[in-house]
Amino acid sequence: MHLLNEMRADGHDVSAPWDEFIAMREALISADKALEKIYMEALQVNFRAASTVGINRRKE
């Protein structure tokens, strides 16, 4: 983004690269949100599994 802003300040047309930058940034933000959701779900599953193991050990 910084480089594109510099090029624009120098008078270059950066509209196409700028659009690509914006699209890539939005894709990365969406991927980050999806991966965060997957990570949180995996933690919950692991937590539940660990809790179950603790319960089973107490019964023994």
Task: Report the distance separating Cα 35 and Cα 27, nearest Å.
Answer: 12
Interval 17-55: pLDDT, tens? 999 999 999 999 999 999 999 999 998 887 777 666 555
Query: Model confidence at 14, in pLDDT bands (50, 70, 90)?
Result: very high
Contact 21, 1 (CB under 8 A): yes
DSSP 17: H
Task: Report the distance separating Cα 52 and Cα 33, nearest Å.
Answer: 29
Q: Which residues have a Cβ under 8 Å from the Cβ of 17 and sit 6 or more positions away?
A: 4
Is the pLDDT at 4 greater than 80, yes or no?
yes
* pTM attached to this predicted model: 0.63
Contact 3, 17 (CB under 8 A): no
